[in-house]
Each structure stands twice: as structure tokens, then as C-alpha cells.
Structure 1
Amino acid sequence: MPVNLTEDCFDEIIQYINNKQTLYSFLFVNRLFCRKIIPKLWSDPFTLLGQSSPSIVRIYISCLSNNERESIYNWGLRIKIKQNKPLFPYLSFLKELDFWCLKGSTEEWVRSVRCERNLKMNSFFRYFLKILLKKCQNIKILRWFIHDKHYIMPDIRNFSYGSHKSHNVFENIRELHCGDYYLDPVFYRHLSKFCNKIVILNVLHYHKPNDSNLTDLIKKQKGLQSITFCSLSGGTLRLVNSLSSQVHSLVSLRFEDTDFTDVSSKGFADCSNLKTIELLDCRTNDSYTFWEPFIQISRIQLSKFTLVRTPINPKAIEAILKNSDRNLRELTLDKIVIESMPEILNILKSYCKNLIYLKISLIEINDFTQRLFNILPTFKRLKSLIIRNSRLNTKYMINKLKLGPSLPKSLRLLDMDLEISANMLKKFLDNCAAPLERLILNYSIGFTDEHLKHILKYWRTKKTLKSIGFTYRSPPELFIMSSVTEKMEARVKKCIEVYDPDDQDDCLF
């Protein structure tokens, strides 16, 4: 007997579908599907398209009233815009506003109608954006970035209010992604007056003159959960201290390329519910003072911990790992941590047995690699292992240290950024204890058809491998040109999906 879904159930299902082609195919099923899918597609049209698009602007213009179109004409767009009434109020569906994508799409559309000579483009776009935002009632995600240092960001106060003065078009923002050195200093101060529902905050290229305004914005939030700061050039002390205003809600914290000079970590050591800490390429003049709060007051139990090119206090790191204990799921440690903590492997073996993701730099001193391979079988839930250091002796690792047999049977992804010959790859795959589903190898060490033949054999024999990928990390003096033929590459692609890893932080290793 057929079962009919209610509209509420259908709405719930749609929220989990993000594939563009799938959504497009639903449009033609029936009127109900079309009516439900259109708001989803137009909530964030630029992300689904993956690029700017003048057609989006053309459709947005069709949503304007005759008076609004006339005002655009009087502003300088010397073309009479005749549009049929749209089937849907597309502008009202917009939930994610990407300033730069909309700007680029508008400029492309103006060029397509050959009106660019009559316009001062920047002034026109600001006016056009103001008109569009008056029809937007439900913006939840704001991306306020620029990608041109010569472009001066507009004053956000010109766009704040919608069709009613009592309604601010940005007051319901849940995610704020903003930054760049050319951001108007008024931006943070103005948002702090009415934005208090931000859950995710991502600030890129921030500098000191704005620190008090950004600090006020953080303090005004009622439940900030995730913060990412990238390329902070000053004012860090106030920002870190302001995190204490979110001690009960903050669960994720990420600092990239940040100056912690004369800063203590107490602001986020106080956050009792913090589950993720990521510090990448950060600097401090006194690492022991910076990390001291994690020894004295913190009992944080993390599920994800990342340390890359950041000075550490070994006692603090040990305290964090022990406090996190079996709650820790994802761990990334670079060479600085490994060399500063001789007992790191014993700590991992004793306290971090539930890891599912481990990314680690190998070093050639104190038999570290051998000891790591000895404890790998104890991580019975490990699914992803990423090894970094292309100068290690792969033959020694596979023949003497038994890399293949030492892998836990739970492992599904192995990324070996190593110089490995075709014969050594064959030996490794023949003795691999894990049913790998994804394998990532270094392509810059003379990758050949023989490498791919052994991978195909593993695929036929084990029947688990689904995809392979490549890194390109060897130093210039070790680089060897690949000799893979198109015929062999085509054979592999018929059986195995081929795509390279997308890891924005990998360049720091």
C-alpha cells in the first residue's frame, strides 16, 4: 500500500539534500516538488552554481517592482528592463548572502546588456544591493569579503534595514564570515548593535584598530559556538579575553597565523564545553606563560586537537591529552610537538585509544617511527592515518618495521607522503592488514604504470579500495618526473575513483 509523506516530512528530507543535480531533477516531478525545491535552490544560489552568474541577477531584477526598475534606469542603467512576472519571489528565499559573488554577477550582467560605459559600477552596485536587500527577510549567513585590495568595502549601515524600519535585514544572522584589511571599521560596531544570534564567527585578516568593536560583537552574542580567527595582526589580547563571555556555549576554536605575543590562553582555557582547539602557525614570545592556564585551571575534554607550527608547553599539551582521554577522536601533531615531547607516544597509547583520525609528522631520531608502528595496532578505532615526512627510508619502514602488518584493521584511509618504489608499494599492499578504502601517495617521486598496476591488483584482490589520490610534496632535489601513460590512467579510472585530497592546512607541514 503506498504511503504519502506529509509536507513537513518532505521539508525535513530536503534539508539534507545538497547535490545540485539531484535538486534540479526533483523540479520536474510535480508541482509540489517544484514548490518545495525552488526555495532550497534559491536560498544560496551561488554555492550551488559554484561561481558568479549574471542569470541570477537577471532573475532578481524580475522580482523588482516597476518603480524599482525605473529607479535603476534613472541611476544610470540606460536600458528599459521588461521582465515577465516571476513564478516565485526568489529574493525572499535568500538565506546566504555572498557579497563578492553577487558583486561579480552584477558586473557580468551589466556587461551582458552592454551598459558598463554609462555606469560608475561601484556606486551602481551599492544602490542595486540596497534595493535587493529590502526584499530579503531571512538572511542567516553573511559572507562579507572582498578579493581586490583596491576595492573599498561599502558602509554596511546603508544596507541594514529592509522594507520596514523596525526590521533589520541582518538581525537574524547565524553565521558571519568576514574580514580583509579593507573592511570598514564601522562594520563590527554596527553589527554589535542588533546581532546577538551568531553561532559561527569566521574572521579573516583582522587588524588592531577594530579590536574593541569585534570584542563587543563577541560579548553581545547569546550562544556563540564556533570561532575561527585567521591572520590576526594585533589586538589579540582583548579578543582572547572576550571568549570568556562565551564559556558555556563555545565548542570550537581555531586560530591561524595569529600573534599571541603577551597573551594568555585563559580566555579559552575557561571554556568548559570546548571540544575543538586548532592552532596553526601561531606565534608567542613566551609559550610557557601562554599555555600555563591549561595546567592550572583547565579540565577541557577535547574531541579534536590540532597543533601545527605553534610553540608549545609540553606539560600543558600532556595535560590536555590526559584530560581528553578517550574522548579525543581527531589529533594532528607536527614536528615541533613530536621533538618537544619524547614521551608523546606513551601518552597516546595510554590515554588516546579511541582516535579515529591521526595526522602526524615522523622523525628519524630515537626510533620514533618504529615505536609509532608498534603502538598503531592499539588504536582499534583508527580510520584515517596521515603520515608526513617525505625523506624517510620507505624500504626500511616496509621491510624492517613492517608498516603493512602494523596497520589496525579498522583503518580505511592511508595517506603516505613518502618516496616509495613500485616494488615497495607491491610489498606493502600484499601485506597490508587494513581493508583500505582510500589510498593517497606522493606523485612527485617518479610515479609509474607499475605503481598503478599494483594498486589495481589490490583493488581486485581485496575488493575494498574505492578511491586514490596524490600529493605533490617532494623537495626539488628529490623530484622525479612521472611516467604514467594515458592508457593506464584510463584503466584505473574505470575501476577506482581518482581525486586528490583537499587539505587547506597541509601546506604548513
Structure 2
Amino acid sequence: MACSKFFSGDLSELLNEVIQYFHYDYKTLHSCILVNRLWCRLAIPLLWEDPFSIKSPKNYRFIEIYLCNLSDDDKKRLNEYVIHSGLFPSNTLFNYPKFIKHLDIYKVYNSIETWAYTNLPTSPTTQMLDFITELIVRSLFLIFIENEVNLHSFGVIIKNYEEFECFDAAFELILQNTNFVHNIKSLTLDFDNPNCSNTLNTIIFYSIDFKNINVLSELFNQLNVLESIHIVNCYSLDSGFIQQINNVTKPFKLRSLFLDKMDELLDPLIQKSGNYLENFKITKCNSLQLSQSLELYCSNIKFLYVVLHFKNINLIFKLIKNIRQNLNYLIINFSIICNVDGKIKFSSILLQNLGQILPFKLEYLNLVLAIKGSDLEVFLKNSQNTFIKKLLIRNAKYDKNNQDILPYIKEYIMKKKRVEYLAILDLFRGKGVDLFSLKDEVKEFQLYDIQVLDYYDSVIGVYDFIKETY
């Protein structure tokens, strides 16, 4: 197919298919725009479909490019506060606002606040910063609406009252221009658009208290093409919530369940979701029935987030064995209530038993443990048949004389080329040493085709993972 397109002269279509593979590789996309006009024209829409979410390379100059579309009056208002006069580009090569596909209000707010702070006079007052942020938020939404953007996902995550006030005017604009959210396929929290029943296929509940929400069964029964539901860090999943879910007559396609508390009330939810469940966080679990349901009904989990606790460690091993044919992402962390001895003990038990039950390939493994070198060696030997594309280790040291784990990593990981990407952070009394900062070590790993990454930049955020995957 690709060859036929090439010989028929349809080079732009073929090149577009190639560039699509770099969708979230922003550094490569930045390089693509420098090749020639065709490459630039194909790469720019990908770079600008979600600029607020780009982590690396991170800058906020894209906000200024957006703002060059402002009216002259609004530009004058901004120039009253902004320190440099040449803020807005005189012209741009593309209509950049038209490319926006994904908006997350929380990220928009943080990006604008950071940009405003760096462009305002030294030590601006809180009142001045709030005013300029609110003005820019309203201006950006007005620009997007006027450009009739084709928004694919819209996340409404408000952390505090100040953010709510800031977006008040923007929400008024949206209510007056409902086409702004007419074609969205992924919506977080906002269910007011009456046209969503035949277009909405993804819902993300993020940090929601379901205590006084009593319309869930009606909502889900009206959504005709809903393919994925995600519950992340939510509260009050009580008997009332479960009853509403039981009243849903359509398949309840719960793809993600990340909670900080688990009990027997969740058992009907687990059973109803069954093999739709693909992303799961397991914490303290006292219910034998719930544990059995996880083993019986949830064999399709691909992303598992484990919080170690003395009441769930055996369940963890059983669950990993049960799902390893599909498991692709694994995060293992401490329970916050574990003391030092408990963290060391659970880390030892885990490393002694984990390697032999891992799948043959993992896309991502993040171990947040208190590691002894001998235990790590056992794990690395037992997991020698597992290839890990991206391995992250955050090692909590409670004694400055703790054995260095790097020699074991070099012996069993580096020399055998068992990973593509590696990030290691050693922590002792709140101070961290990141392998990424040790330039000689980084160069040594490069000789074995292993790229060392900054640990915190490499950590997968659950919300971002869900958004990008679904």
C-alpha cells in the first residue's frame, strides 16, 4: 500500500502517515518542521493540537502566538501590565488556534498563570496576577470559539475557588456557543451538552465526590456510543453509587478504577465491569470476596498501580500472575502508613517474588521501594527473560551506608541491554541524586544503546495516560 502511494506520486499522504507515528514525540516534531515546507505543514497541526500538555521541551511562548489574534483593544489592555512591548508577533505562518484538539482547564490555568507571572512587573500583586490571568483565559476561549475549533476532548478540573472564578467568563462564552463542545469524544465532568449522547465515547471522573450525585444511571443509559468510563481518585463510591450503577441497563464499560480505599462495596462494580477493566489501582484490601472477584473477573488489566500494604501483598502476587498475559504497565509504591521497617520488609518480599511472575515484555515498570542490593540482584536474575522498555526506580535510602544499586543495574540491565530507557532516583533524607545528572554514567549507558532519563519527567501521570490512550 505504501509503495503504491509512493510510485503514484502521493508523497504528501505517505509522509503524513509517517509523521503521525511521532504524535507525542514533540522533540522529533520540532525537528520535522525544520526540514522543508511540506514537513512543516504536516507536523505543525500535531504540535499545536494540545500545547498546554507538552512537558518537554516546555515553554509558554505559544500563548503569545495565540494572543496575536486578539482585538486591538484587548492587546492594549494587556500591554498596560506586560513589561515588554514587542510581546505579540506581527504575523504568523499558520492559524494556530484552529489546530487545538484537546483542552484541559487545569493545565490551561497553570500555563497562563506561569506565563503571566514571568511577563508581569517584578513581584506583581495577587490581585494583578488574578486579573491578567482571567483576562487571558477569557481571550483564549474567545479566540478558540471564533475559530470554530474541532475540539476532541475537554477536561473540566477545577482545583480551587480562584480557578473557578477565573473560568467563570469562559464558561459563559461556552454556554453561549454550544458548538464549541458539540463534537467532543472525551469529556471530563461536564455532561450538559444535549448532543453528546451520540458522540461522547469517553468519560473521565477525576477527584469527584459522588455523595450527592443521583443521576448516574440516567446519564449512562442515555449515552449510545460510550466506550470507556474512568474513575480516578474519586470519593463516596458507597451503596447509593453502586445501586445507580446496577440500574444501568447498557454494558458498563469501566476501563479505569484508581481509588485510595477499597472495600466489599466495590465487589458488584468489579463484577459488572469484568474484562472491560484495563487500568487498576490496588490499595489496602480487607475483603476476601473483592479479592476473589479481581482474580475471577479482571484478567484484562494492562495498567496496574500497586500500593504495598501488609494486607494485600499476597493478593498482588496472585493478581499479577493472573493478568501477566496482558500486563504492560506496572507501578509499585509504598503505603503512606508504612514505617521504615515496613518499607524495607515489603520491598524485600516484593523483590524476592516479583521477577519470576513478570510477563516477557513490559512497556513501563516503576518501582518505588527501599532497596537492598542483594534483593535487587535476586529480582534482576529472576526477571532476566523480561524486556522492559522503560524502567524507573526510586530508591529510598534510610542509611547513608546503604549499598549502591547501580553496580547491579550495570551487570544485569546495562550489559544485557534489557531496557531502552532508564531512570533512577536515590533519595536520602529528602535529598535526591538522579542518575540523569551523572554525565559520565549517562555516557556509559549510551554505549549500550540505553537512554538515561530524568526520573520525574519520566513518571506516567494516570490522568495523562488515560487521556492519551482513550
Matches within 5 A, 1:4-43: 4-17=9-22, 18-43=24-49
Please provide the CA RMSD for this pair: 5.1
TM-score of the two chains, using structure 2 as the length reference: 0.68
Matches within 5 A, 1:197-346: 220=197, 222-232=199-209, 234-239=211-216, 242-246=219-223, 249-268=226-245, 270=248, 272=251, 274=253, 276-282=255-261, 287-288=263-264, 291-292=267-268, 298=272, 300-304=274-278, 306-309=280-283, 313-325=287-299, 327-332=300-305, 334=307, 339=311
User: For residue 397 of structure 2, what is the aligned residue in structure 1?
Assistant: 444
3-state secondary structure, aligned to 1:150 = helix
User: For residue 73 of structure 1, what is the aligned residue in structure 2?
Assistant: 76
3-state secondary structure, aligned to 1:442 = strand
> 1:340: Cα distance to partner?
7.4
Change (3 A) 1:410 1:246: same
Are the equivalent residues in 1 in contact too, given 2:283–2:306 (CA < 8 A)? no
1:356 paired to 2:327: yes
User: For residue 338 of structure 2, what is the aligned residue in structure 1?
Assistant: none
- Structure 1 residues 389-442: Cα deviation after superposition (integer angstroms, max 9, x where no partner): 532484x888xx7876x4567255666555544455456646654355446362
User: For residue 360 of structure 2, what is the aligned residue in structure 1?
Assistant: 410
Are the equivalent residues in 1 in contact too, given 2:253–2:273 (CA < 8 A)? no
Amino acid at match of 2:45: P
How many percent of aligned residue pairs carry the same amino acid? 16
Change (3 A) 1:314 1:32: same
Supply the distance in 2 between the matched residues of 1:420 and 1:161 (Cα, whole angstroms): 53
Where is the helix percentage greater, Structure 1 or Structure 2? 2
3-state secondary structure, aligned to 1:356 = coil
Residue in structure 1 matching 2:187, options 164, 167, 176: 176
3-state secondary structure, aligned to 1:263 = helix
1:502 paired to 2:449: no
1:140 paired to 2:152: yes
Amino acid at match of 2:259: L
Change (3 A) 1:134 1:289: closer
The number of residue pairs the alignment matches comes to 426
TM-score of the two chains, using structure 1 as the length reference: 0.63
Change (3 A) 1:488 1:355: same
Supply the distance in 1 between the matched residues of 2:225 and 2:461 (Cα, whole angstroms): 29
Unaligned runs of 5+ in 2: 336-341, 463-470
Matches within 5 A, 1:370-449: 389-392=343-346, 394=348, 406=356, 410=360, 419-423=370-374, 425-426=376-377, 429=380, 433-437=384-388, 438=391, 440=393, 442-445=395-398, 446=400
Amino acid at match of 1:308: I
Amino acid at match of 1:455: I
Change (3 A) 1:274 1:247: farther
Matches within 5 A, 1:102-113: 103-104=112-113, 107=116, 111=120
Unaligned runs of 5+ in 1: 179-187, 197-219, 364-387
Supply the distance in 2 between the matched residues of 1:442 and 1:82 (Cα, whole angstroms): 46
Residue in structure 2 matching 1:121, options 113, 126, 132: 132
Supply the distance in 1 between the matched residues of 2:415 and 2:379 (Cα, whole angstroms): 14
Amino acid at match of 1:150: E
> 1:280: Cα distance to partner?
0.9
User: For residue 160 of structure 1, what is the aligned residue in structure 2?
Assistant: 174
Supply the distance in 2 between the matched residues of 1:393 and 1:127 (Cα, whole angstroms): 49
> 1:308: Cα distance to partner?
3.1
Change (3 A) 1:290 1:447: same
Matches within 5 A, 1:89-108: 89-98=95-104, 99-101=108-110, 103-104=112-113, 107=116
3-state secondary structure, aligned to 2:275 = coil
Change (3 A) 1:161 1:63: farther
